[in-house]
Amino acid sequence: MKRIAVAVPLLLAFITGASLSCLFFLRDTESEAGAFIAEVETAAMSEDYDACRRTLDEFGVFWDERERYYLLFVRHEEMHDIKIGIEQMKGFAQCRDKSGIIGELRMLKAMLSHITESETPLLKNIL
């Protein structure tokens, strides 16, 4: 009985710690990705497509690093859609299509905030 009394709180502490670390990781990734998105948007609005492509390349590398961990607790199709969005923006930057870049950026912002919101332990997400 003593073992159970010790094991249950330890297990709950572990689960809570793991959940909180995942939540902080999601929010940190969203804010860092938001910085990349803002940089790309600024470059696109000033029609500096070379800077846009460089930032998108950096964003792609950043996303590839983070994607490995995201795949542990987020649906794979959402990760795939974000990766496709980054690649499409690279194509828009190469074609100098400002409206395409801005539209895709808005979609990426919405997807990133949706991922963070859907993984946050709220009552509406549980029910």
> If you compute the radius of gyration of the chain from its CA atoms, what whole number of angstroms results?
19
Could you list the pLDDT tens digit for every one of the 127 residues in the chain?
A: 788 888 888 888 888 888 788 888 888 988 999 999 999 999 999 999 999 999 999 999 999 998 888 887 777 788 888 999 999 999 999 999 999 999 999 999 999 888 888 877 777 766 6
Please check whether residue 20 lies inside any domain of the structure. Answer: no
Contact 74, 115 (CB under 8 A): yes
Please check whether residue 111 lies inside any domain of the structure. Answer: yes
- Tell me how many domains the chain contains: 1
Please check whether residue 70 lies inside any domain of the structure. Answer: yes
Q: Supply the pLDDT for residue 14.
A: 87
Q: Supply the pLDDT for residue 63.
A: 92
Q: Supply the pLDDT for residue 15.
A: 85
122: left (phi over 0), alpha (psi -120 to 50) or beta: beta
Domain extent at residue 106: 25-119
Please check whether residue 124 lies inside any domain of the structure. Answer: no
Please check whether residue 55 lies inside any domain of the structure. Answer: yes
Please check whether residue 8 lies inside any domain of the structure. Answer: no
Please check whether residue 32 lies inside any domain of the structure. Answer: yes
Q: Supply the pLDDT for residue 68.
A: 85
Please check whether residue 43 lies inside any domain of the structure. Answer: yes
Q: Supply the pLDDT for residue 74.
A: 75
Q: Supply the pLDDT for residue 94.
A: 92
Global pTM value: 0.81
CATH code for position 74 = 1.20.120.290
